[in-house]
Amino acid sequence: MYGQIVRDGLVNVTGIEDLGLTSPVLQRTSDAFFKEISPFLLHFGMFVPTIIGQCTPEQQAKWLPLAMDLKIIGTYAQTELGHGTFIRGLETTATYDASTEQFILKTPKLSSYKWWAGGLGKTANHCIVLAQLYTKGVCHGPHPFIVQIRDTETHMPLPGIKVGEIGPKLGFNTADNGFLGFEDFRIPRENLMMKNAQVTKDGTYVKVARHGKLTYGTMVFVRVMLVSDMAYCLAKAVTIAVRYSAVRRQSQPKPDQPEPQVLDYLTQQHKLFICISTAHAMKLTSTWLWNTFTGVLADMRDGNTDTLPELHALSSCLKAISTSDTSALIEQCRFACGGHGYMYSSNLPALYSFATATRTYEGDYTVLLLQTARFLVKSWEQMDEGKPLTPTLAYLEQSRNGSQVSWDDSPEGIVRGFDAVAAGRIGACVKSIRKHINNGMDYEDAWQMTTVQLVGAAEAHCRAVICRVYRDETARLTAGCSPGVKAVLDQLSTLYLLYWALERTGDLLRFSSLSERDIENLQARYEALLLKIRPNAVGLVDAFDFRDEVLMSTLGSYDGRVYERLMEEALKTPLNREPVSDSFHKYIKPMMQGKL
């Protein structure tokens, strides 16, 4: 299995590199090679971006050509057995020895071992290591180092390196995630990635960057990319589920009528059409987030880090919500396909195992929403002090006078409703924190006692951002489209708003003048809209334009020959090579004869 995947991975990467094609093509073709993950994912996904983001121009000149030509194969080793979220708690140390101008790397305890890095087990011969930097007896916190871990000729681990694969997982079983330990392992001073901080030959620590968290820059980049990856992953899953639902006929709601396509059931439309909408919502939001990200990078190149906090807050909540929604909706696609959705050959299990991992890696869901909440509470307090709000928080102003927003069930009115919910929930958090402090708690405990509400407030803020961006971008991008295309895409964005309004009626009742009658109207509009979308459902997923080789699904192939493909795959399984398994003769027959 591993050997096959490495071969396919290299064919995929070198093939695309030779064709000089860009990463979207890489993304859309690599799936034709793997149902799961390439062992080279981290090389291009994090190792190369970290060299670009954390190295000086001189260091880039040395390492980038080697990495791009695959003369070295890298990964990103930050997480340890004992720490993943709390980076400042990482235990691996890099202590500077001025007498030899080297750093000495150590993993002092078992919990200090690097754990999880993709490709680390058997594939990578270099990696980015996050380690606590010590020089002249002072710890300067986690810093990135480039470390060669294997001999580039023999691939043997270098002396002082303990490295291996971490074993089977829920998914990602072709990603070759590994562990890594250091025993007084020495690297040259120049292997500290010195764009944001430097150590001179005599061991003097020099801070270059103004913002203390630029070391975390690769994670922001990957979080931004993950939102787009999720749109792509969900689009594949819903293509499979909708096509299968158009082929599958089941039950007889009306006597002497043929069994209907299961796609004609309203409950099936309720399960699946939100998946189509959400794939569009996340794709448009990811493009908007990418433009925000490149804008912040440009500011930072000019030495201005003022827009970085909002980018961190946005990338944190959008990564958390996009991965969480995608995991849940891919599982919903599987549920919608009955037993055949549980077949590995449907490709829904592999899509789910990928999506559910993304909810954890690159920053756990809860932890990242709390990062966003930290920014929201700070913004509220700045608003109280009369300071200006950042663009994505302009809606907070409407909450200053505390008046309840009047409910308006137009799409734009629903977007304003979600703004009111976010503003209301953030305000409730601020009130809770202040109440706990007034009752004698310190700020940290008051914050902890409010974290359940803070996660909810961050989710509400994120939902409001997605709703607004999805609605605005749909209007902007369809302005020149035919009335038919415009109408269908407008239906999808309206469906997203109605779906989430119905999911959040409690919040809307609390923070707007929504009434019971309004809810009845919302429900009726939602159901009518499902029926309107039904005739275009297959066309909408065909428009995602996935080739069968990329979908890799017995249920989702374009020709709809589901049963033939299921049987073809079944007959390929090893157990079907012989009519009688040798386990019958070894175990079952003796048991039947009372000889076991």
Ligand X SMILES: Cc1cc2nc3c(=O)[nH]c(=O)nc-3n(C[C@H](O)[C@H](O)[C@H](O)COP(=O)(O)OP(=O)(O)OC[C@H]3O[C@@H](n4cnc5c(N)ncnc54)[C@H](O)[C@@H]3O)c2cc1C
> What are the tokens at 131?
């380690």
- Is the CB of 389 or the CB of 449 nearer to ligand X? 449
Would you count residue 453 as binding ligand X (CB under 6 A)? no
> Could you give the CA distance from residue 91 to residue 97 in angstroms, rounded to a whole number?
19
Question: Which one of ligand X, ligand GRA, none interacts with residue 45, CB within 5 to 8 A by kind?
Answer: ligand GRA
When asked if residue 367 is in the footprint of ligand X (CB under 6 A), the reply is yes
Backbone angles phi, psi at 406, to 5 degrees: -80, 135
Picked from ligand GRA, ligand X, none, the partner binding residue 129 (CB below 5 to 8 A depending on kind) is none
- With CB cut-offs between 5 and 8 Å by kind, which of ligand GRA, ligand X, none does residue 106 bind? none
CB of 442 to ligand GRA, least distance (A): 16
d(CA 196, CA 206): 9
CA distance 553 to 237: 10
Give the one entry of ligand GRA, ligand X, none that residue 312 binds, where binding means its C-beta sits below a cut-off of 5 to 8 angstroms depending on kind.
ligand GRA
Task: For ligand X, give the closer residue by CB, 156 or 170.
Answer: 170
Phi, psi dihedral angles at 61 (to 5 degrees): -60, -30
Distances, alpha carbon 457 to alpha carbons 198, 365, 424, 441, in Å: 39, 14, 8, 21
CA angle 532, 538, 542 (to 5 degrees): 130
Residue tagged 């958090």 (tokens) = 429
| Binding string, residues 174-203; x marks residues near ligand X by CB under 6 A | ---x--------------------------
Q: What order of strands is seen across the sheet that includes strand 114-115?
A: 114-115, 178-182, 161-165
Choice between 79 and 285, CB closer to ligand X:
79
Q: Indicate which of ligand X, ligand GRA, none lies near residue 220 (CB less than 5 to 8 Å, by partner kind).
A: ligand GRA
Give residue number: closest CB to ligand X: 84
Beta-carbon contacts of residue 461 (< 8 Å; ≥ 6 apart): 317, 372, 376, 392, 393, 422, 425, 426
DSSP state for residue 400 in the 8-state scheme: T
Among 368, 468, 469, 460, residue whose Cα is nearest residue 423 = 460
Quick one: which segment of 82-90, 153-161, 248-256, 376-384 binds ligand X (CB under 6 A)? 82-90
219 binds, among ligand GRA, ligand X, none (CB under 5 to 8 A by kind): ligand GRA
Nearer to ligand X, 358 or 399 (CB): 358
Nearer to ligand GRA, 195 or 565 (CB): 195
Q: How far is the CB of 391 from ligand X (least distance, A)?
A: 28
Cβ closest to ligand X, residue 172 vs residue 407: 172
Matching residue, tokens 């009047």? 406
Cα 155 from chain centre: 32
10 Å Cβ neighbour count for 564?
12
> CB of 417: closest distance to ligand X in angstroms?
29
Which partner in ligand GRA, ligand X, none is near 374 (CB below 5 to 8 A by kind)? ligand GRA
Q: Which is nearer to ligand X, 67 or 276 (CB)?
A: 67
List CB contacts of 520: < 8 A, sequence separation 6 or more: none
**CA 29, CA 21: separation in Å to the nearest integer?**
10
> Smallest gap, in angstroms, from Cβ of residue 557 to ligand X?
28
**Contact flag: residue 78 with ligand X (CB under 6 A):** yes
The active-site residue out of 91, 310, 331, 362 is 362
Q: Does residue 362 carry a catalytic annotation?
A: yes
CB of 366 to ligand X, least distance (A): 4
Classify strands 76-77 and 185-188 as parallel, antiparallel or unpaired: unpaired
Residues near ligand GRA (CB under 6 A) are: 41-42, 45, 76, 78-79, 84-88, 118, 213, 216, 219-220, 308-309, 312, 361-363, 367, 371, 374, 378
- Among 5, 6, 13, 42, contact with ligand X (rule: CB under 6 A): 42
Determine, following the binding rule CB under 6 A, whether residue 172 of this chain makes contact with ligand X.
yes
- Contact segment (CB under 6 A) with ligand X among 58-66, 202-210, 308-316, 353-361 equals 353-361
Report the Cα 205 to chain-centroid distance in Å. 35
Given the complex with ligand GRA, which of 80 and 473 has the nearer CB atom? Answer: 80
Q: Which amino acid is at 95?
A: T
Does residue 379 contact residue 406 with C-beta atoms inside 8 Å?
no
Question: Which residues between 105 and 144 bind ligand X (CB under 6 A)?
Answer: 116-118
Helix (H, G, I), strand (E, B) or coil at 431: helix
Q: Which does 449 bind (CB under 5 to 8 A by kind): ligand GRA, ligand X, none?
A: none
- Among residues 54, 81, 58, 219, the alpha carbon closest in space to that of 145 is found at 54
Q: Which does 309 bind (CB under 5 to 8 A by kind): ligand X, ligand GRA, none?
A: ligand GRA
Give whichever of 246 and 367 is closer to ligand GRA, judged by the CB atom.
367
Residue 361 in the binding site for ligand X (CB under 6 A): yes
SS3 14: helix
Residue 160: name the closest of 90, 106, 237, 204 by CA: 106
Question: One-letter amino acid identity for 334?
Answer: R
Closest approach of ligand GRA to the CB of residue 49, in Å: 11
Distance in angstroms (rounded) separating the CA atoms of residues 352 and 350 = 5
Kindly list the catalytic residues. Answer: 362
Residues near ligand X (CB under 6 A) are 42, 76-79, 83-85, 116-118, 172, 177, 357, 360-364, 366-367, 370
